[in-house]
Amino acid sequence: MQALNIKKGASSQSAYDLRDPYSDVIETHTLAVLVDNESGVLARVIGLFSGRGYNIESLTVAEVDHKGHLSRITVVTRGTPQVIEQIKAQLERMVPVHEVHDLTVEGPAVQRELALFKVVGTGEHRVEALRLADIFRASVVDSTLESFVFEITGTAEKIDAFSELMRPLGLREMARTGVAALSRGA
């Protein structure tokens, strides 16, 4: 009888999740944190990261329940499985925190980011910028004789790719919202 060929850590959703929680592998995780919408809460949550030397790659915050005064903080961070578990445990112990969800582990999730790009150019560069924007489904939200402002929504990888293609065409400024994410399904 031949042994099962299960790749270690292949899927966090698998019943055969063999990832070592004490491994040195750095993973990227998206955390959704439901908190009270009151002053100082964001500073306390972010202070947990900075006080322990954890990096935040993306951060978005918005009120999601006006009557219940609740906000949702979406944080993308990197660390070993042990560090991620420690972050989640420390967040869950905070008083203004109601729920902590690790969207990376809980199953499939939809992640999107919005970005604005100002591209300055004339002639062929201008035509090429419009052509690439059409390919990436970016919208022109402002136009002058010398520049365009493009709006694009998608994954962080899509926005990074668009950015790299626009640099040689006259990319001057860029603003990104950070990742917004929801788990898929019911």
Q: Are residues 156 and 118 in the same domain?
A: yes
Q: Are residues 131 and 148 in the same domain?
A: yes
Question: Domain span at residue 59?
Answer: 27-106
Q: Are residues 139 and 176 in the same domain?
A: yes
Computed over every residue of the chain, the mean pLDDT equals 89
Residue 19 lies in a domain: no
Q: How far is CA 169 from CA 110, 124, 130, in A?
A: 31, 9, 10
- Residue 89, amino acid: A
Q: Please report which confidence band the pLDDT of residue 151 belongs to, taking 50, 70 and 90 as the band edges.
A: very high
What's the confidence (pLDDT) of residue 24? 81
Is a pLDDT exceeding 70 seen at residue 6? no
- Residue 42, amino acid: L
Is a pLDDT exceeding 90 seen at residue 186? no
What's the confidence (pLDDT) of residue 16? 56
Is a pLDDT exceeding 70 seen at residue 4? no
Q: For residues 20 and 108, which has the higher predicted lDDT (pLDDT)? A: 108
d(CA 134, CA 101): 36
Which of 61, 102, 67 has its CA nearest to residue 81?
102
Domain count, the chain: 2
Contact 73, 42 (CB under 8 A): yes
The string of pLDDT tens digits covering residues 42-89 is: 999 999 998 888 999 999 999 999 999 999 999 999 999 999 999 999
Q: For residues 131 and 4, which has the higher predicted lDDT (pLDDT)? A: 131
Which DSSP state fits 11? -
Give the pLDDT mean for 118-122.
95
Q: Please report which confidence band the pLDDT of residue 10 belongs to, taking 50, 70 and 90 as the band edges.
A: very low
Q: Are residues 99 and 135 in the same domain?
A: no
Which one of 106, 123, 151 terminates a domain? 106
Q: How far is CA 25 from CA 56, 156, 179, in A?
A: 17, 21, 23
d(CA 21, CA 23): 6
Is a pLDDT exceeding 60 seen at residue 105? yes
Q: Are residues 117 and 177 in the same domain?
A: yes
Residue 18 lies in a domain: no
Residue 121 lies in a domain: yes
Residue 54 lies in a domain: yes
Residue 11 lies in a domain: no
